[in-house]
Amino acid sequence: MTVVKVKLLIPALTAAGVVVAASATVLSARSSASGTTHAAAQDSSGLTPKPPAGFAGRKVKVGDVHINFVEGGEGPTLVLLHGYPQTWYEWHKIMPALAKHYHVIAPDLRGAGDSDAPATGYDKKTLATDVHGLLTQLHRDHDIRLVGHDIGTMVAYAYAAAHPQDVTKLVLSEAPIPDQTLYNFPSLTSKGPGFWNFGFFNVTNGLPEQTVKDREAQWIDRFTDMLAYNKDGVTAHDAAIYGHYLKQPGHTRASFEWFRTLNQDVSDNELNAKTKLTMPVLAIGAQYSLGQSVPDQVRRYATNVTGEVVPNSGHWLYEEQPTEMTNRLLAFLGNG
């Protein structure tokens, strides 16, 4: 990806500013009184979503880390890997439809949701190892269809690079594969904010953690709003759910560690890039976010790439355009 292509990544980032000073300012939040119907039920607190009908959640210990996941459906294995600042719940709108054709597994990555948040292990190679350990215990580690979004895309690529013989089809959406082009992403453009968060999250003196502390839901509400085209895709209630998990001990720091390990990911992918992936890969960008830059970059890492740009969507594809994304996934993956 060249610097010219990077300019394609900016449009969705110009919608709104974000307060990043660690002050007592309360970030404004969207009203959740829109009556949006949620596919997943809620517990009595309203902030711990229950799996959709036909799904169940549980934990397994992978090495020294407990990994939470939700699974349901019958058929070949389909694994969904979420992004920042999300959990398995990112997929709740599309999981029931996918479960008609696949056995769907949606884990919380290390440091997210109900999974543990240890001090280390947030490079994407280690996160992929967690997922592989989970699937091995479930006897689902062969013939898998793997879908990643945002940070989950980086993990999905690391998984496919480590276990290419086990990944039948791969979907990478709305994130770059970490390589040297990351360092070309501008934090400020003539149209407004660029990829400021990549640098900000890498500050290690506690500033990012203090910025978010005690305002997790407001932070996520404004962060998701800034990157959204369809503003009701991630509602204020959804942001509160994600914020609830971010408040858990160690989870805010862990979420930033996903970004603080990008230098290691770049180094790891210099080796991975020497062997291109050969399985079918669907590379997806959103019209009002990363766009064509996603398939353009993925073609440097894989030989059999289908590139698509989803119209009328910002970064949160699977929540902004759930029906469209379900149809696109099934068209690429097949009907089981």
Catalogue all structural domains in the chain, each as residue range(s) with its CATH number.
3-15+43-333 (3.40.50.1820)
Q: Which residues pair with 309 in a beta bridge?
A: 285
Q: Strands of the chain (E only): list them.
A: 55-62, 65-72, 77-81, 103-107, 144-149, 167-173, 188-189, 192-193, 281-286, 305-310
pLDDT on residue 40: 54
pTM of the full predicted structure?
0.89
pLDDT on residue 18: 33
* Residue pLDDT tens, the chain, 336 long: 333 333 333 333 333 333 333 332 334 334 333 333 334 555 546 899 999 999 999 999 999 999 999 999 999 999 999 999 999 999 999 999 999 999 999 999 999 999 999 999 999 999 999 999 999 999 999 999 999 999 999 999 999 999 999 999 999 999 999 999 999 999 999 988 999 999 999 999 999 999 999 999 999 999 999 999 999 999 999 999 999 999 999 999 999 999 999 999 999 999 999 999 999 999 999 999 999 999 999 999 999 999 999 999 999 999 999 999 999 999 999 987
pLDDT on residue 43: 53
Rounded to whole angstroms, the Cα distance separating 293 from 226 reads 20
pLDDT on residue 29: 39
pLDDT on residue 198: 97
pLDDT on residue 263: 98
Residue 295 region by backbone torsions, left for phi larger than 0, else alpha for psi between -120 and 50, else beta? alpha
Beta carbons of 256 and 208 less than 8 angstroms apart: yes
Measured distance between the N- and C-terminal CA atoms of the chain, rounded to whole angstroms: 34
Residue from 8, 29, 20, 320 nearest 194 by CA? 8
Q: Give me the half-sphere count of Cα atoms (radius 13 Å) on the Cβ side of residue 5.
A: 15
Rounded to whole angstroms, the Cα distance separating 269 from 152 reads 15
pLDDT on residue 336: 78
